[in-house]
Structure 1
Amino acid sequence: MIDLKFMIHMKQIIILLVLMTQSVAAQNSGNKVSEAEQKHVDRNTNPQAILAELRADLSGLQAEFTQYELLENNQKSDINTGQVYMQSPAQFRWQYQQPVEQLIVADGENVWIYDEDLEQVTVKIQDNQLNPIYVIINDEMSQQHYELKHESHNDGTDWVSLTPKQPNDEVKTVWLAVADNLVKQIKVENQFEQTMVFEFNDIKRNPEFTEGLFQFVPPEGVDVIRAMNQNPTE
């Protein structure tokens, strides 16, 4: 039971990192599109230009989220809601509130998954280099590892797809819905044709975060499980 639960959480973390890296990019990201160049680009058909505008002057995000699996008949399954906080370049706090409270915190070195009901914390090293999704924060590396394509523009929303150039066990294709220079929705399809959807509301750009928001200290008395024989950085 514990292993299955951990695997589900790992899939969720991978998806969250897509949002974080697309929406909260590093300030020194390579090959940025300049303002002058963007004037000569048809934004509605150029995914690089869309993502460049998305990243501009963005260091943090706060939003409400609804997460669910999209079934073949467009029915929603396993609906979860909560709050997410993200800070460049690699920190986030993903707080599930309904139907079950749960907390995932990435502090830049470790990812902590706290299940209060099980009195259990699972911790995994947050190794950017081992996860190809992290390269999306860099224009040059994203073009090296991903095929970017503008899929459509409808009612002010651009849909951009990202397909790994090399086979990926967790992610087959990612779709981003971008409007007003913010990610409003993410769809992630895995190799089993399963689709996970994240919808975001009440999005705040560059909010002031409280000190310690992206740190996690295991509560006294809970079991701490280190994933895959890893020792977390302390």
Structure 2
Amino acid sequence: MKKALILLVCVFAAGLTLAQSDNDNAIDNKAQDILSELRQDLSALQAEFKQYELSQDGHADDKNSGTVWMQAPDFFKWHYKEPFEQLIVADGEQVWVYDEDLQQVTVKPQNNNLNPIYVIINEELSTRYYHIAYEGEQQDLSWVKLTPKETSDEVKSVMLGIKNKQLHRIHVNNQLDQTLVFEFSDLKRNPTLSKDTFQFTPPEGVDVVEAIE
């Protein structure tokens, strides 16, 4: 769980340190059409998720599950419920990671220009930072591949599995060719979210650690 969570924070919280490429702005029209349909009238998401690392022999390791909420422009919350309680909250200014087992909260500035909700709903930012390509149909899903235009220390590529204008899977492949998989179910488009959904106050008595940038 710890290794998978660290990668998740790197991808969804710390962001990708990228520079815009002026030489290659080609867009795969098929991929763009799929993403445009996904983004249509979308401002927020809620879903149940399963997360695991996919081994080279196709075995699912380090399984976790919980609920995720995302809202434009830059809010998200991942609530891990099984096998351990853990929370990642981005409030628009900071990212909070609460490890209930360790009784520790790690906080860092939310200074990234790219997080998952941008990929889903913001065409300008996703095309600025990623090469986007249609990868065909597999497992009853349409797959769109996102490759950083500049090298990322963590992310080699991101695969989005989409069906019926809904995001069902995310595969994050790192530079060691390890793959972190997210499977989504019970998806809700534009749910009504309370104002405190993306607020976090460290519980009394826990250690609060500021992450070093």
Asked if these proteins are the same fold (TM beyond 0.5), I'd say yes
- Per-residue deviation, 1:154: 4.6
Distance in 1 (alpha carbons) for counterparts of 2:117 and 2:162: 19
Distance in 1 (alpha carbons) for counterparts of 2:201 and 2:115: 28
The 3-state SS of whatever aligns with 2:35 is helix
**1:84–1:140 CA distance, 2 compared to 1 (3 A):** closer
**Alignment counterpart, residue 122 of structure 1, candidates 86, 98, 106:** 106
**1:205–1:156 CA distance, 2 compared to 1 (3 A):** same
Distance in 1 (alpha carbons) for counterparts of 2:116 and 2:76: 15
- Give yes or no for contact 2:70–2:117 (8 Å, CA) kept in 1: no
Task: Give the aligned residue type for 2:202.
Answer: P
**Which moves more between the two structures, 139-148 or 64-73?**
139-148
Query: For residues 31-180 of structure 1, what are the structure 2 equivalents within 5 Å?
Result: 46-129=30-113, 136=119, 138-154=122-138, 157-180=141-164
Stretches of structure 1 that go unaligned for 5 or more consecutive residues are: 18-42, 230-234
Question: Residue by residue, what CA displacement relative to the aligned partner does 1:50-71 show, whole Å, maximum 9, x if unpaired?
Answer: 1111111111111110000000
- Per-residue deviation, 1:209: 1.2
Distance in 2 (alpha carbons) for counterparts of 1:185 and 1:209: 23
Distance in 2 (alpha carbons) for counterparts of 1:163 and 1:199: 20
Question: Residue by residue, what CA displacement relative to the aligned partner does 1:100-124 show, whole Å, maximum 9, x if unpaired?
Answer: 1111111011000111121110001
May I ask how many residue pairs the two structures share in their alignment? 198
- Give yes or no for contact 1:128–1:134 (8 Å, CA) kept in 2: no
Distance in 2 (alpha carbons) for counterparts of 1:190 and 1:202: 27
- Give yes or no for contact 2:30–2:134 (8 Å, CA) kept in 1: yes
Distance in 1 (alpha carbons) for counterparts of 2:199 and 2:128: 32
- Give yes or no for contact 1:113–1:123 (8 Å, CA) kept in 2: yes
| Residue 6 of structure 2 is aligned to residue 13 of structure 1 | no
Question: Residue by residue, what CA displacement relative to the aligned partner does 1:67-118 show, whole Å, maximum 9, x if unpaired?
Answer: 0000011000000011111111111111000001111111011000111121
**Alignment counterpart, residue 181 of structure 2, candidates 165, 179, 197:** 197
**1:168–1:75 CA distance, 2 compared to 1 (3 A):** same
* Structure number with higher strand proportion: 2
Higher alpha-carbon Rg: 1
Where does residue 25 of structure 1 map in the other structure? none
The 3-state SS of whatever aligns with 2:212 is helix
Superposition TM-score, scaled by structure 2 size: 0.84
Cα RMSD after superposing both structures: 2.4
Task: Give the aligned residue type for 2:154.
Answer: E
Where does residue 188 of structure 1 map in the other structure? 172
- Give yes or no for contact 2:97–2:106 (8 Å, CA) kept in 1: yes
Which structure's relative contact order is higher, taking Cα pairs within 8 Å and 6+ residues apart?
A: 2
* Structure number with higher helix proportion: 1
